Structure 1
Amino acid sequence: MSKQLGYMIRQIRERKEISQQKLSEISGLSQSFISSIENGQKSPTIRSLKELAGALDMSYEELVKTALFSPKNNYILQKNKLVTEINADLARLYKGVIGQGPKKINTEIYKDILIIRIKPYSNPILIQLVKTTRGQRLLNELARYLFKSYRMDFIKVLNNLIGVDIKNIYCDYSSVDEIVIIIRFNRKFL
Structure 2
Amino acid sequence: MKTQKTSTTKTIVELPHTEQHASTELSKQPHTLSQPTFGQRLADAMAAKVGSWSFLTVQTGILATWVGMNMMPGVPHWDEQPFILLNLVFSFASAYTAPVVLMSQNRQSEEDRKNSEIDHAINRKAAYGIELLHEKIDQLEKQHRLELAQLLEQQRQYLQELRANVNSTPQEKVESEALDNTTTNEVENTNLIYLKPLLDSHKVVVKVASKAK
Q: TM-score, normalised by structure 1?
A: 0.24
Flag the structure with higher strand content: 1
Q: TM-score, normalised by structure 2?
A: 0.22
Name the larger-Rg structure. 2
